[in-house]
Structure 1
Amino acid sequence: MKINIFVLLMVSIPFFANSQNSTYDQALADSLGADDYGMKSYSLVMLKTGGGNIDDKAEVDSLFRGHLDNISRLAEAGKIIAAGPLGKNDKNYRGIFIFDEQDKAKVAELLQTDPAIKANLLAYDIYNWYGSAALPVYLETHSKIEKIRP
């Protein structure tokens, strides 16, 4: 009898573990490229301190102004869906980007449009990342709550 109960449990667990979402929107999922779990693949970029050294503060300021402008341009084009700085850390990580692109070579090309990266003030590592397919639509909301643009 114990074996039959064990078999019954093993057969029924997968049935109960996955249930249909009553608010599922097929059209929205398709438009965002979501899989059955509402997820998709992205590229995560870890920005870190580069090897470049520029002593002219005005030039450095100009390059980082261009860095921020480039982030805005990439976001408006739908290429980058998240970006932000990191606090001080022992890895010299400076910030992150999440690109709505899986191809690392294409992401590397997009990164070369950043003046701070081109000047080697920032370097980067690119990783595959699996996250919510809804990430791209949060930018619409962010633009409505952003009082001051960088």
Structure 2
Amino acid sequence: MKITIFSTLLALLSFSSFAQAPREFEMKDGDTTYVMKQYFMGFLMRVPDKPELDSAKVMEIQLAHQNYMSENAKTGALLVAGPFGDDGDMRGIVIYDVATKAEADSIISNDPAVKAGRLAIDVKPWWAAKGSTLK
């Protein structure tokens, strides 16, 4: 199934530019039909020259960041978010269910941790079968 999905995506994306591709399409794999959907996955990154702040200000920004994520989850724009379990440069991921990359970028640019220069984010279009869940 994975090779079939990947081949179908490649064919779809080579047929038209990524911005013009539909956000959803059906794909058959044997007797199963999947509805593939485009989401936007963001990788939260450490900022090398982030501003030096006292611990109270860092905590204030972190709480505002978490509240902002919760609000985006309530609206349905944010599907999944979480930090990585190490102290690497990649700090965490987010997955947005929005119409365009520009919309995802707009949401991200208003994140208090991004606005404060504490985090940066790299957003990529990402395809998954609609209704996929973590197990």
Q: TM-score, normalised by structure 2?
A: 0.70
Q: Give SS of 1:81's match.
A: strand
Alignment of 1:111 with 2:111, yes or no, is no
Deviations 1:85-144 (A, max 9, x none): 012265x00000000025111111101221111011000101011113115xx6xxxxxx
Distance 1:100 1:87 in 2: 24
Structure 1 45/116 Cα, relative in aligned 2: closer, same or farther at 3 Å? same
8 Å Cα contact 1:43-1:102 kept in structure 2: no
2:96 corresponds to 1:99 = yes
State whether residues 34 and 130 of structure 2, in contact with CA within 8 Å, keep that contact through their aligned partners in structure 1: no
Structure 2's unaligned 5+ residue stretches are 1-27
Give runs of aligned pairs for residues 64-83 of structure 1, distance below 5 A.
64-83=62-81
CA RMSD of aligned residues (A): 1.9
Q: Which runs of 5+ in 1 are unaligned?
A: 1-16, 22-35, 139-150
Letter in 2 for 1:66: A
Structure with bigger helix share is 1
Which has a greater percent of strand?
Answer: 2
Post-superposition Cα deviations, 1:2-40, rounded to whole Å, max 9, x if no partner, equal xxxxxxxxxxxxxxx94334xxxxxxxxxxxxxx42321
Q: Distance in 1 between matches of 2:85 and 2:120?
A: 17
Q: d(CA) in 2 for partners of 1:18 and 1:69?
A: 40
- Same amino acid, percent of matched pairs: 30
